[in-house]
Amino acid sequence: MADKLLELRKVSKSFGGLRVISELDLHVDEGEIVSVIGPNGAGKTTLFNLITGLYAPDGGDILFEGTTLLGLEPHEITSRGIARTFQTLRLFLNMTVKENVMAAAYSHTRAGLLRSVLRTPGMRREERGIEQLAEERLAFFGQRLMGYRWNQPAFSLSYANRRRLEIARATATSPRLLLLDEPAAGMNPVETHEIAELIGRLREDGGYTILVIEHDMHVVEGISDRVVALDHGVKIAEGTFDEVATSPRVVEAYLGTKAASTK
């Protein structure tokens, strides 16, 4: 078994009296693609918010590469090597497509104000590097985000292209672990198919380990090494897609007790 890249140990989170995540154990191994499924309100996005440091857990520990992430600011967690996309897109709409990606290179670049004003050779080299990185990341999506689109504002992109740009931006932080929050939401069947293929390529060519939240079961089936099902903040099943899909507790969570008992 490969090393555990990300590990959650008995993580809990409540909002007021509501328990959203309850003593959750979860791990993602190096090079794995793990899908998180569950009905709406199961705590999937909260899980992402806990990992990326937006929320502090009430209990438990979150380890990345063997060291805890607790107490770190979100931007520090990102520079450790975890990047995410958002279920509700959060692009920098009034910046150009290329700038969106270039901005995300912040955490692994150094030039300060003085060096930027003086345009020192080091700063210019770094700037060229950032630009190259952005072009490379955008080229990952074929022609879709190329050429004239580089200098267009992000708001001019179609919905599907915005989702792609979010992924490009996340990869520009040079992460080891990518958290994708419903990458296929709102896509048509062709685009969904493409996203599924893309996630595979992100691992093969990009070398990223991927934790993905997805509702589209065809995508989940196609890409996942392992599937984790959540309901009411509790892990109700874990394993291969077939194991999880046939688990009575998963069927119950999605369709209710009656459907589960007749199965």
Partner 1 sequence: MSTDPTNPDAPRVGVDEWVASHEQRRTERSGLLGVVERELARVPSPAFYLGFGVAAAILPALTTNGYIINVGVNTLLYMLLALGLNITVGYAGLLDLGYVAFYGFAAYGYAMLASPKFGLHWDTLAVIPVVVIATVILGFLVALPSRRLVGDYLAIVTLFFGELFATVYQNGESMSLLGFTKPHDITGGPNGIPNIDQFNVFGSHIQALDYKAYYYVALIFFMVLLFAVYLVDRSRTGRAWRSLREDPLAAELMGMPVNRLKLIAFACGAGIAGVAGTIFAAVNTAVFASEFDFTSGLLIIVYAMLILGGAGSLGGVIIGALVVNVSLEVLRDPGHATWVFYVLIGATLLAKLRPWRWLAVVAAGTVGFGFAVHAIVSSAWPRGVHGTAAVGGALGSGLSHWVILPSNPTTIGNIAFICLVLAVLVLTLLHGWVQKLAMIPTLYLAAFVWENRLVVEPSITRLILVGVILIVLMNARPQGLLGTSRVEIV
> Where are the alpha helices (H) located in the chain, listed in sequence order?
44-51, 74-80, 97-103, 113-118, 121-139, 159-171, 189-204, 217-223, 241-246, 248-255, 257-262
The site string for partner 1 over 76-95 (x = CB under 8 A, - otherwise) reads --xx---xx-x---xxxxxx
3-state secondary structure of 210: strand
Q: In the range 46-75, which residues lie near partner 1 by CB under 8 A?
A: 52, 54, 73-75
Nearer to partner 1, 5 or 83 (CB): 83
Measured CA to CA, the distance from residue 140 to residue 71 in angstroms comes to: 34
18 contacts partner 1 (rule: CB under 8 A) = no
Q: How far is the CB of 110 from partner 1 (least distance, A)?
A: 9
Q: How far is the CB of 246 from partner 1 (least distance, A)?
A: 22
Q: Between vectors from CA 138 to CA 133 and to CA 139, what angle results, nearest 5°?
A: 95
Q: How far is the CB of 118 from partner 1 (least distance, A)?
A: 8
Out of 18, 25, 56, 119, which residue is the one contacting partner 1 (CB under 8 A)?
Answer: 119
Q: Between vectors from CA 56 to CA 55 and to CA 57, what angle results, nearest 5°?
A: 110
240 contacts partner 1 (rule: CB under 8 A) = no
102 contacts partner 1 (rule: CB under 8 A) = yes
CB 177 within 8 A of CB 64: yes
CB 99 within 8 A of CB 92: yes
The site string for partner 1 over 199-238 (x = CB under 8 A, - otherwise) reads -xx--------------------xx---------------
CA distances from 81 to 46, 47, 94, 115, 179 (A): 19, 17, 26, 26, 11
Q: In the range 159-198, which residues lie near partner 1 by CB under 8 A?
A: 169-170, 172-173, 190, 193-194, 196-198
Which residues are at the interface with partner 1 (CB under 8 A)?
A: 52, 54, 73-75, 78-79, 83-84, 86, 90-95, 99, 102-109, 111-113, 116-117, 119, 123, 127, 130, 141-144, 146, 148, 153, 155, 169-170, 172-173, 190, 193-194, 196-198, 200-201, 222-223
